[in-house]
Homo-oligomer: A and B are copies of this chain.
Amino acid sequence: MAEAGNVQECIALLQGLRAVRQFRPQPIPQQVIADILTVARWSGSAKNTQPWEFLLVRDRETLKALAALDGFVKHLADAQLVVVLVMAGENEESETYDEGRLSERIGLAAWAHGVGSSIGWFAPNARTTAKQLLGIPDDRLVRTAISLGYPDEAAQRARPKPAQARKPLGELVHEERYGRRSDS
């Protein structure tokens, strides 16, 4: 748990994470990467299976090749570092869920250090090629590649932003039974 004075700071971090896809060409210090990987390593998973490995990619040509594949992956081309999540490929439902948990921890750990991130997502038809480009065995599942880098705030302001609003809690929260709304 967070110490008393830091609770709201940590809540603000957890609430404030947004996707960043425009990055400055500033390297991420090794100590920051070490923190991100340590948080990733300690992520929870079903039955503590830890069905993952982390492939760190910085090589610009490799990143451009990955960014050209189908999916939501264009932003990989300009990242300072990409973490490819190499999943065991043994249990589709629980691994997909655990992959989401892991991705969230990576994004949050980066953002604690001011490093922006965006989840990259290979379309199903691009996953075999992504594995071949990276030398990943065919029996693994590769779907997520997380872009990391310090935000380029000027470039972010210059681009049209997708709506990032969220539904109000009044539409999302039910009490005791579905359809029963909170009084508060």
Contact = CB atoms under 8 A, between A and B. Distances in A.
A126 B8 CA distance: 37
Contacts of A99: 97, 100
Contact of A174 (B12, B19, B56): B56
Contacts of A154: none
Nearest to A62: B176
Contacts of A35: 11
Copies of this chain in its oligomeric complex: 2
A15 B42 contact: yes
A69 interface: no
Contact of A169 (B41, B57, B135, B166): B41
A55 B97 contact: no
A177 B2 contact: no
Contact of A9 (B6, B97, B173): B6
B50 A167 contact: yes
A50 B172 CA distance: 10
A164 interface: yes
Q: Please name the 5 residue pairs, one residue from A and one from B, whose CB atoms are nearest each other, closest first.
A: A100-B100, A1-B114, A97-B100, A96-B96, A10-B112
